[in-house]
């Protein structure tokens, strides 16, 4: 077996440096906030929307995000622009950073967990319903890290790189959310009708 000299090892590490850095995900300091204080940030200027089908009052859309788009804000923008009053969606893609949250019912607060670095969106699911007359997006995600481990939670923000493909089914009947004082959350309140 051939031995490498110190200069060859240093050169190999220097060349691999950018690749190794791109494969690192950093977890920031967690902190708690009330549901009403969840940060709202970002925009999605690269978002593209395509109507895939329309039948019986139900519509299927592909909502595609590009590098730099903040997906949670983009989904809210999509819901407002297309007058979505009830929907559910799934997504896959990749991101450069996100803030996930975990709800602590004892505190009635979310623990915010920021992550930066390239990650796979292994699964993202959510819904859209009306709260005080405006579309409210609720989504959770499972993020794959470079070592194959995963982090999951309620999505606060998600910065796309290079794409996030969201398939949205818009339902013909509206769904409403109501404030729940027991949790300080806005929860879907089914009308009870069929």
The answer to whether the beta carbons of residues 139 and 56 sit under 8 Å apart is: no
pLDDT digits over 105-123, tens only? 999 999 999 999 999 999 9
Indicate whether 100 pLDDT > 70.
Answer: yes
Does 190 or 67 have the greater pLDDT score? 67
Of 29 and 21, the structure prediction assigns the larger pLDDT to 29
Which H or E element spans position 22? helix 6-22
Are the CB atoms for 115 and 26 separated by under 8 Å?
Answer: yes
Model confidence at 13, pLDDT cuts 50, 70, 90, reads: very low
- pLDDT tens digit sequence for 176-188: 999 999 999 999 9
Asked if residues 184 and 140 have their Cβ atoms less than 8 Å apart, the reply is no
Average pLDDT, rounded, for the chain: 90
pLDDT class for 22, splitting at 50, 70, 90?
low
Given pLDDT bands bounded at 50, 70 and 90, which one contains residue 5?
low
Residue 7: band (very low, low, confident or very high) from pLDDT cuts 50, 70, 90: low
The verdict on whether omega for the bond into residue 162 sits within 30 degrees of 0, i.e. cis, is yes
22 vs 97: CA distance, rounded Å: 12
Domain 24-188 class in CATH: alpha beta
pTM equals: 0.85
CA-nearest of 104, 101, 108 to 138 is 101
For residue 134, what are the CA distances in angstroms to 77, 79, 87, 129? 11, 9, 13, 8
Q: Looking at the predicted structure, is the pLDDT value of residue 4 above 80?
A: no
Tell me the domain boundaries of the chain: 24-188
More confidently predicted of 145 and 194 = 145
Q: What is the mean pLDDT of residues 57-67?
A: 97
Segment 58-71 mean pLDDT: 98
**C-alpha triplet 25, 141, 32: angle, nearest 5°:** 75
Mean pLDDT (whole number) for 131-145: 97
């Amino acid at each position: 077996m051939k031995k490498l000299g110190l200069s060859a090892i240093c050169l190999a590490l220097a060349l691999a440096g950018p690749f190794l850095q791109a494969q690192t995900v950093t977890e920031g300091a967690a902190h708690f906030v009330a549901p009403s204080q969840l940060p709202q940030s970002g925009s999605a200027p690269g978002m593209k929307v395509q109507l895939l089908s329309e039948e019986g009052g139900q519509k299927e859309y592909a909502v595609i995000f590009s590098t730099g788009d903040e997906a949670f804000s983009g989904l809210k923008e999509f819901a407002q622009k297309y007058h979505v009053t009830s929907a559910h969606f799934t997504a896959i893609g990749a991101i450069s950073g996100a803030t996930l949250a975990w709800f602590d019912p004892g505190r009635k607060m979310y623990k915010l967990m920021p992550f930066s670095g390239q990650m796979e969106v292994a699964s993202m699911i959510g819904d859209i319903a009306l709260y005080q007359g405006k579309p409210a997006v609720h989504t959770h995600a499972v993020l794959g890290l470079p070592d194959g481990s995963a982090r999951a939670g309620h999505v606060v923000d998600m910065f796309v790189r290079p794409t996030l493909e969201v398939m949205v089914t818009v339902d013909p009947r509206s769904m409403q959310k109501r404030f729940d004082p027991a949790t300080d959350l806005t929860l879907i309140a089914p009308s009870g009708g069929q």
